[in-house]
Chain A
Amino acid sequence: MRIDKPGAKRGVSVFSYAGDYGVTMQLEDILADIHNMGARGLEILANSHIPDYPHPSEAWVERWFELLNKFDLVPVEYGHWVDSRLYAGRELTTEESLAMLVRDFKIAHMLGFRILRTKLGVIDETLTPVQNWKEFIQAALPYAEKYDVVMCPEIHEPTTLDSAMVQEYIEFIEQTGTKHFGLNIDFGIFREKKLPKDDEKGRPPFRHSRPEELGLYLPYVYCCHAKFIEMSDDLEELYIPYERIVSVLEEHNWDGYLLSEYEGFHRGEPGYASDQVRRHQAMLKRLIGE
């Protein structure tokens, strides 16, 4: 095993391969792909990539560690959800939400993950979290400490960095002084060019954050989703200003993984992700000066 160097490092979210997983590629093929690009960080989505979730077999857990070892991969981020609208007609109670969190803490810890991308239920178009989020997150902090995990809600478009929600998350961290709650920044919040979905009915007006705003928030950021839409033949991302983002990370000596997350026009179709992720990794390698 190599030792992690401080700074921005390369990783990939297995979500990128949503069109291939189970159809043209098994988890092992995807991990082999990621390894071959020279990326080391790995994000899986618990619900998607753990067979028999939430009760993975011992044999699968053993295989998981064999694969990490075989492909020299670091389990960086574990994606999971608090499904507030799990049951029709009502929201989960604080107790039910807490139970859902703790169940994932145990699995994440068992699989070697420290950072969790904790997706909360939302109540409106700008993705404001459910009203009792502070109660169940607060209640989960002792368990997060016990299982050594950090819950990180993902700041995802159409949310912007200057939103009340991000402010509330930061106030929560400051007030509790916790090291077990932080942020995952999805680079889609910096997307400058519109996509067809931005004009859909019901969506808030198109807005995005600027990379230069990010510095202020970086002390709370444990991991980033290096979201991308389309990589050109010149290995440039066509929608998101990556050069500016990476220069802000470097300026602040941010240490962590950038997890390539393909969410382009061919998402969900077999045969696109591998090439697009590979292009994205080539770009990241150049930008972080690896």
Chain B
Amino acid sequence: MLERDCIQSRGFQNTEKDGQIVGFQFTIRSLYYRGLWLSQLRPATVWVNTEEFGPETITWTIKRQTYTHEEMAKCGDIHWGLLDLATINVEKPGGLGPGLYEIRLSYTYSASYLPPRIDTLLGNQTHVRKLVMV
């Protein structure tokens, strides 16, 4: 079972590459009732306390594959389902030290069966959660 919030508490950790800490990651679930084809997603922004991380510093891992926003925009046949956790990977050399952080995440998506104006509004809530880096 998943936690009710979009941002899950399990999965918040630093990421390593070649023995160096290169960033951090956390996991989310889709609050949209039918999940999303990856190309429906619009670029995400993350904030940690007051520090902003733009779309160019973020990749998504869904079903064990990692994508940039540009790559996702072309993936119209890969579906992020309601039971699939997505991992948001954020570049930040050195990562985050132990402690409590306020994590915020924002992204929108298209929904073709609703008026086109809705595409910029749906999901246009910022997901917020305080997470502990162990």
B residues apposed to A, CB below 8 Å: 1-4, 29, 31, 33-35, 37, 39-40, 42, 73-74, 76-77, 79, 81-83, 110-117, 119
Separation of A202 and B120 alpha carbons in the complex (Å):
14
| Contact between chains at B117 and A85 (CB < 8 Å) | no
Contact A23/B113 with A45-B34, A81-B34 known, Cβ cut-off 8 Å: no
A111-144 residues with Cβ-Cβ distance < 8 A to B are: 119-125, 127
Which residues from chain A contact B37 at a C-beta distance below 8 Å? 83, 86
Contact of A85 among B29, B34, B74, B119 (CB under 8 A): B119
| Contact between chains at B115 and A85 (CB < 8 Å) | no
16 CB contacts below 8 A, A to B, read A15-B33, A22-B29, A22-B83, A23-B2, A47-B34, A50-B81, A53-B79, A81-B113, A83-B40, A83-B76, A86-B37, A120-B113, A121-B113, A127-B115, A202-B117, A270-B4
Would you give the 0/1 interface string for A181-224, flagging 1 where the beta carbon is closer than 8 Å to chain B? 00000000000000000000010000000000000000000000
A233-280 residues with Cβ-Cβ distance < 8 A to B are: 268, 270
Contact A52/B81 with A85-B119, A88-B42, A270-B4 known, Cβ cut-off 8 Å: yes
| Contact between chains at B115 and A47 (CB < 8 Å) | no
| Contact between chains at A47 and B35 (CB < 8 Å) | yes
Interface centre among B29, B111, B115 (most CB of A within 10 A): B115
Residue pairs across A and B with CB atoms within 8 Å: the count is 88
Distance to closest chain A CB from B128 (angstroms): 17
Which residues from chain A contact B40 at a C-beta distance below 8 Å? 83, 85-86
Separation of A47 and B73 alpha carbons in the complex (Å):
18
Distance to closest chain B CB from A78 (angstroms): 13
- Determine whether A281 belongs to the interface, using a CB cutoff of 8 Å to chain B: no
Contact A21/B112 with A48-B34, A83-B37 known, Cβ cut-off 8 Å: no
Which residues from chain A contact B35 at a C-beta distance below 8 Å? 47-48, 53
Interface centre among B3, B74, B111, B113 (most CB of A within 10 A): B113
Separation of A22 and B1 alpha carbons in the complex (Å):
5
- Determine whether A7 belongs to the interface, using a CB cutoff of 8 Å to chain B: no
Which residues from chain B contact A82 at a C-beta distance below 8 Å? 112
Extra pairs beyond A47-B34, A50-B81 (4, CB < 8 Å) = A18-B33, A48-B81, A82-B112, A88-B110
CB-nearest residue of chain B to A54: B79
Which residues from chain B contact A85 at a C-beta distance below 8 Å? 40, 110-112, 116, 119
Separation of A121 and B118 alpha carbons in the complex (Å):
12
| Contact between chains at A122 and B113 (CB < 8 Å) | yes
| Contact between chains at B39 and A87 (CB < 8 Å) | yes
CB-nearest residue of chain A to B31: A268
Which residues from chain B contact A127 at a C-beta distance below 8 Å? 113-115
| Contact between chains at A23 and B112 (CB < 8 Å) | no
Which residues from chain A contact B76 at a C-beta distance below 8 Å? 83, 86-87
Distance to closest chain B CB from A84 (angstroms): 4
Separation of A8 and B112 alpha carbons in the complex (Å):
31
Separation of A110 and B33 alpha carbons in the complex (Å):
23
Distance to closest chain B CB from A209 (angstroms): 19
Contact A268/B33 with A24-B1, A48-B82, A83-B40 known, Cβ cut-off 8 Å: yes
Interface centre among B3, B42, B73, B82 (most CB of A within 10 A): B82
Separation of A83 and B114 alpha carbons in the complex (Å):
10
Separation of A18 and B33 alpha carbons in the complex (Å):
6
| Contact between chains at B115 and A119 (CB < 8 Å) | no
| Contact between chains at B79 and A47 (CB < 8 Å) | yes
